[in-house]
Structure formats: structure tokens, C-alpha cells
């Protein structure tokens, strides 16, 4: 593991931190000024001690260099740089592993989730809630199709899994240290953080907000990526897709038996007929398609088992900047 260092190159003692804000980053150099201005002003207004743990997911636009410069100006900004791009869910996990605060707040760097909610989250935390999640009341700047698919995903996901997730909720939330410690113990390689946050339980509540449009640039999530993310989340927390194909097999077998009985009775009554080529090909292609889809679903689950049994580290850290603690969980 890379050693932590301060701007002077020495690790020094630091007073106990109340709030850790974790920000996964990939090519976010253009938005860093606005991000840190908003975050630090909101956090300073709370009167709580805080740190901002930025996870550089192998950015290619100078994000790491900018983060180091910001750390020189404000040591409360700390950086964990990964050796290559591991994806947002892994980067978020790395940030949680290194966060030292009594409460931890993951937030995206694009400022769609307003930092102004943090004081309200803290107030709910002080009331005794251990998880305070932000519920999207509206989603500015998103297409009708994206809003529709998001609406469908949350409802379908909660029907298929045993532990539902809060509807219209992302990663933006406040979590007590006890919650974060349990999250850090869950080390599956295929991460669906919204599901993991819900799975650990604890006393939870939500606060509503209107989600902003992106501050700059365009989302790197296309519909194919979102589909893979959605199916991956379902596969991580439900085996219903596997059961579905068992039910389909039973149903198709029953229909085939019924149709065979019908043909036998018709032949006995009317004599032998020559079946049509088209209907035969349709049946073969239909059953072949069903078999390939079912194999694909089984392969998805088998691939996840393959990833887990290899026991590779979830991520590799190339550099840490700031007075960061040892990981709360193994990589």
C-alpha cells in the first residue's frame, strides 16, 4: 500500500474528524474550483471538523495534479489515487475505506447533488438516524426516457430483491461510522453500492431535494452502460433471474406436451398430415433463442463467481496525499 504523506512529506497527528466527504473522480479537473468552493463553504458553516477524501480513478485530464495543488492550499483535502481506472463503485469503496470521520458522506463531483443538504443530514444524524439518504424529488436536465427508465428500475429492483433500496435515491447520503465500518467489511468484487448501503440496515430516513443539471460536460453513462449497471445490481442481490428460466422451461415443456397431445389426437381422427416448414423453423428458432438467453443469464452469475474466487484486490492504490489513516477494510 502506498504511504500517506502531507505537503511537507511527513505524517502528523490530526484531531478527531467529525465529517468525511468522499468524492470519486474521473476527469473532473474542469469542475474542481466550483466543487471545493461549495463544499468547503458548506462544511465550514456547520462548525464541524471535516476532511474531503478525493479518489482519483486514474483520470487523464490533470485531475490528480490539480488535487495535489488543492491539498497544498488546504490540507483537509486529501487524495487517494488508484493505479488504473477501476470504475465509480470501486472508487467509492476506496474512499470509504480511507475515510476517518464519525460520519461519512459520499457525493458525486458533478454537483448534481447539492452540498447544501449536508447541514440537514447532520441534523437528522444528531437526532439518532444512522443513515440519512437524499431522495430525488425532481431530476433537472434529464430526458423523459432517462427519467422513465430510472423510475422503472427502482420499482423492478425492489420487486426482485429481498432487501429493497429507497426509491429515487443515489449514493448521496450521510452514514454513521458504525454503518461505514460494516460496509467496509463487505468485499464482493461486483459492487452495487446502493444495494450494499441498504443491506447493512440500521436506522434510516430520507430528505427530499431537487436534483440539479450537470454543472459542466456530459454524463459518461450511455443507455448500454446503464443497462449493464442495472442488470449487475439485480444479479448482485437477487437470484430471481435464474429462477425465471426454470419456470420458462417448465412452461415451454408443458406447452410442447399439450401441442404433441393435440397433434396425436388430430392424426388419429383425420390421418397423417405434412407439417409446414415455416412453423417448424419458428419453433426451432424460438427455443434456440430461449436457450441462449438462459445460458447468458447463467453465464452472468457464473462470471461473478469466477471473479470472487480469484480473490484479487478490489483496487490498487498508487499514491496517497494527505494525513490518511490505514484502510478500514482490506483492498
pLDDT of residue 1: 38
Q: Is the pLDDT of residue 6 over 60?
A: no
Q: Model confidence at 56, in pLDDT bands (50, 70, 90)?
A: very high
CA 271 to chain centre: 62
Between 204 and 254, the higher pLDDT residue: 204
Average predicted confidence (pLDDT) for the chain: 79
Report the alpha-carbon distance of residue 32 to residue 45 in Å, rounded: 20
Mean pLDDT computed over 230-241: 71
Over residues 70-82, the pLDDT tens digits come to 888 888 999 999 9
Mean pLDDT computed over 60-67: 87
Between 110 and 141, the higher pLDDT residue: 110
Report the alpha-carbon distance of residue 311 to residue 298 in Å, rounded: 21
Q: Model confidence at 11, in pLDDT bands (50, 70, 90)?
A: very low
Report the alpha-carbon distance of residue 197 to residue 185 in Å, rounded: 12
Mean pLDDT computed over 156-181: 83
Query: What percent of the chain stands above pLDDT 90?
Result: 14
pLDDT of residue 328: 59
Over residues 46-55, the pLDDT tens digits come to 888 999 999 9
Q: H or E element: which one contains 169?
A: strand 169-176
pLDDT of residue 2: 40
Q: Is the pLDDT of residue 8 over 50?
A: no
pTM over 0.85: no
Over residues 111-140, the pLDDT tens digits come to 888 899 999 999 999 988 999 988 887 766
Report the alpha-carbon distance of residue 241 to residue 232 in Å, rounded: 11
Q: H or E element: which one contains 288?
A: helix 277-310
Amino acid at each position: 500500500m502506498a504511504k500517506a504523506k502531507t505537503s511537507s512529506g511527513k505524517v502528523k497527528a490530526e484531531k478527531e474528524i467529525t465529517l468525511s466527504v468522499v468524492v470519486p473522480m474521473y476527469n473532473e479537473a474542469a469542475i474542481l474550483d466550483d466543487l471545493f468552493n461549495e463544499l468547503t463553504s458548506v462544511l465550514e458553516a456547520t462548525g464541524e471538523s471535516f476532511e474531503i477524501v478525493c479518489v482519483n480513478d486514474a483520470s487523464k485530464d490533470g485531475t490528480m495534479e490539480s488535487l495535489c495543488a488543492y491539498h497544498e492550499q488546504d490540507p483537509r483535502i486529501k487524495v487517494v489515487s488508484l493505479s488504473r481506472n477501476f470504475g465509480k463503485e470501486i472508487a467509492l469503496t476506496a474512499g470509504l475505506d480511507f475515510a476517518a470521520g464519525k460520519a461519512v458522506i459520499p457525493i458525486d463531483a458533478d454537483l448534481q447533488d447539492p452540498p447544501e443538504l449536508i447541514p440537514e443530514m447532520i441534523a437528522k444524524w444528531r437526532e439518532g438516524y444512522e443513515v440519512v439518504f437524499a431522495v430525488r424529488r425532481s431530476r433537472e436536465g434529464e430526458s423523459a426516457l432517462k427519467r422513465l427508465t430510472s423510475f422503472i428500475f427502482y420499482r423492478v429492483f425492489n420487486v426482485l430483491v429481498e432487501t429493497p433500496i429507497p426509491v429515487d435515491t443515489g449514493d448521496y447520503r450521510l452514514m454513521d461510522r458504525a454503518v461505514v465500518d460494516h460496509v467496509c467489511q463487505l468485499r464482493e468484487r461486483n459492487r452495487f453500492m446502493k444495494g450494499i448501503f441498504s443491506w447493512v440496515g440500521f436506522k434510516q430516513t430520507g430528505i427530499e431535494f431537487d436534483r440539479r443539471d450537470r454543472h459542466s460536460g456530459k454524463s459518461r453513462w450511455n443507455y448500454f452502460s446503464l443497462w449493464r449497471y442495472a442488470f449487475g445490481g439485480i444479479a448482485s442481490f437477487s437470484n430471481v433471474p435464474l429462477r425465471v428460466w426454470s419456470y420458462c422451461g417448465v412452461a415451454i415443456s408443458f406447452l410442447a406436451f399439450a401441442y404433441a397431445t393435440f397433434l396425436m389426437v388430430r392424426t388419429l381422427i383425420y390421418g397423417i398430415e405434412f407439417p409446414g416448414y415455416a412453423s417448424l423453423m419458428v419453433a426451432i428458432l424460438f427455443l434456440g433463442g430461449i436457450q441462449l438467453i438462459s445460458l447468458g443469464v447463467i453465464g452472468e452469475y457464473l462470471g461473478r463467481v469466477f471473479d470472487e474466487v480469484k480473490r484479487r484486490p478490489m483496487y490498487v492504490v498508487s499514491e496517497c496525499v494527505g494525513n490518511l489513516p490505514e484502510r478500514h477494510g482490506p483492498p
